Every structure is written in structure tokens, then in C-alpha cells.
Amino acid sequence: MKSEKAQLVVNGLKEAGIDFAAGVPDAQFIEVYKMVEKDPGIRYVGTANEAEAAGVGFGAWFGGKKPALLLATSGLLVATYHLARINLLHEVPMLVVIPYRGDIGDPRWLGLYKKTTEPGLNAMDIPYRIVSRSADIVRSIKECNESARAWLKPVAVLLNEEALW
């Protein structure tokens, strides 16, 4: 991932008012994690796994923060139970930002993620937007966070290969 595209993700988080982020660094999104960790306006908490990140993010919201989860595509599967349960029981707005592996254009075939990501989000009743152009990253992150807060539920942004690489 090029640093200028990672900066677009961070700019989107900041424009959306995000002041807290949790996640588990992964190779595809490492530049975003590094930038978020250094940004004084966003408190970043690294976790042992994505399920824990979801719990930390939800706790941050209950503590008055405006959180986002930064999850690898595979990490969405790990966080599924927590995202679904909190979504159904507590109506917590949570922005979930995912580099979408397995979508058309991905240089490595990771078809399992294509088969599980969108159906998983649909099953959890988590709306999402797929972003294919880097020019749409900032606006999409901001709009998805506004929807999450208005609807009191997690909303995901899936950034595919065309947008990120």
C-alpha cells in the first residue's frame, strides 16, 4: 500500500470525527496502522485479535469516544460474534474499515474472503460500502460513519484493490 493512499484512510477517519481506533495490524493495511498510531488526534489500541478489538472499540464508545475498528478481511470473521451480538443488543455505532481482499482486482486469489465478507456483513445486518476509487476513500469513510451514528449500528467500509494499491 502506498503511503499517500494510507493517508487518505487516516484523513477520512479524522474528517469523520474518529478519535479512537482498535485493531490488529496486518500486512495489507500496515501503513494505516502506523499513521493512526502516530496521530495525536486518534488514540490507537492494538489488540491480540479482532474479537478483542471489537470489544475495545465498543467499550470506547460507551466511554464517550467516537471509535473505528481497523480489521483485516480475515479479521472480520474473527470479530463476527462480537459485532453481531453488540449490534443486535446495544445499538452501538461503530465504523469498521476493512482492506477488502478477494474482490476483483486482488493480485492474489483469496476467494474465501469474497465468499464470506459480504454475506457475513449481510447476515449481521451491517450495512457496507465497497470503495473502488482512491478519490472516494475520504468521503466514503465520513459518510459511512455518519450513517453508523444516525442508525446506531456498525457500518463497514470495504476498500478494494483498486482503491488501495
What confidence tens digit (pLDDT) does each residue in 113-147 have?
878 899 999 999 999 999 999 999 999 999 999 99
The pLDDT score that the predictor gives to residue 109 is 62
Domains delineated in the chain: 3-164 (3.40.50.970)
Please report, rounded to a whole number, the percentage of residues in the chain having pLDDT higher than 70: 95
C-alpha cell read off for 22: 482498535
pTM over the 0.75 mark: yes
Specify the long-range contacts of residues 17-20, CB closer than 8 Å, at least 24 apart: 17/66, 17/145, 18/42, 18/66, 18/67, 18/68, 18/95, 18/145, 19/43, 19/65, 19/66, 19/67, 20/44, 20/45, 20/57, 20/60, 20/65, 20/66, 20/67, 20/68
Strand segments (E) across the chain: 20-23, 43-46, 67-70, 94-99, 128-131, 154-159
Rounded to whole angstroms, the Cα distance separating 76 from 110 reads 14
> Which residues fall within 8 angstroms of residue 135, CB to CB, at 6 or more apart?
none
